[in-house]
């Protein structure tokens, strides 16, 4: 007797984590699809950006309410105090509160002094 077993295998869903990245696809497991979709909708409803971290997890990057406010230190901001573009590290400066909770690369102002650019 010959027995055939038919298995239903679902292909991974290909999604994009950010339209501004020219729709670079990322792989998402089918089992995570529903939960991720619900979380993404909540994020977008809160005016957030749905992003994928370096280890593959998805998260919501929410806007800050103090974006653009002048600052001299990150403790004055919801996120961090961003140095002006092109300023030399070690220079005395004021910055602006960054507009999002998370940033991959930044040059922070601390105690009125521009730091070095750091990337996560």
Give pLDDT tens digits for 81-120. 999 999 999 999 999 999 999 888 899 999 999 999 988 6
Regarding whether 24 and 57 lie in a shared domain, the answer is yes
Predicted pLDDT of residue 106: 92
Q: Which domain holds residue 91?
A: 70-119
Regarding whether 28 and 47 lie in a shared domain, the answer is yes
Regarding whether 48 and 18 lie in a shared domain, the answer is yes
Residue 56 lies in a domain: yes
CA-nearest of 17, 34, 36, 35 to 26 is 17
Regarding whether 22 and 40 lie in a shared domain, the answer is yes
What is the DSSP code string of 83-101?
Answer: PPTTPPTT-B--EEE-SBS
Residue 74 lies in a domain: yes
Predicted pLDDT of residue 35: 62
For the stretch 25-55, pLDDT in tens is 344 444 455 567 888 899 999 999 998 888 8
Residue 4 lies in a domain: no
Residue 5 lies in a domain: no
Say how many domains are in the chain: 2
Regarding whether 77 and 54 lie in a shared domain, the answer is no
């Amino acid at each position: 007797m010959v027995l055939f077993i038919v298995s239903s295998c679902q292909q991974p869903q290909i999604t994009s984590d950010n339209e501004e990245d020219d729709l670079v696809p990322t792989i998402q497991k089918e089992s995570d699809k529903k939960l991720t979709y619900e979380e993404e909708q909540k994020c977008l409803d809160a005016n957030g950006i749905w992003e994928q971290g370096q280890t593959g997890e998805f998260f919501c990057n929410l806007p800050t309410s103090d974006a653009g406010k002048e600052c001299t230190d990150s403790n004055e901001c919801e996120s961090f105090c961003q140095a002006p573009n092109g300023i030399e590290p070690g220079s005395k400066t004021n910055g602006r509160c960054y507009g999002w909770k998370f940033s991959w690369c930044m040059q922070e102002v601390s105690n009125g002094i521009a730091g070095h650019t750091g990337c996560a």
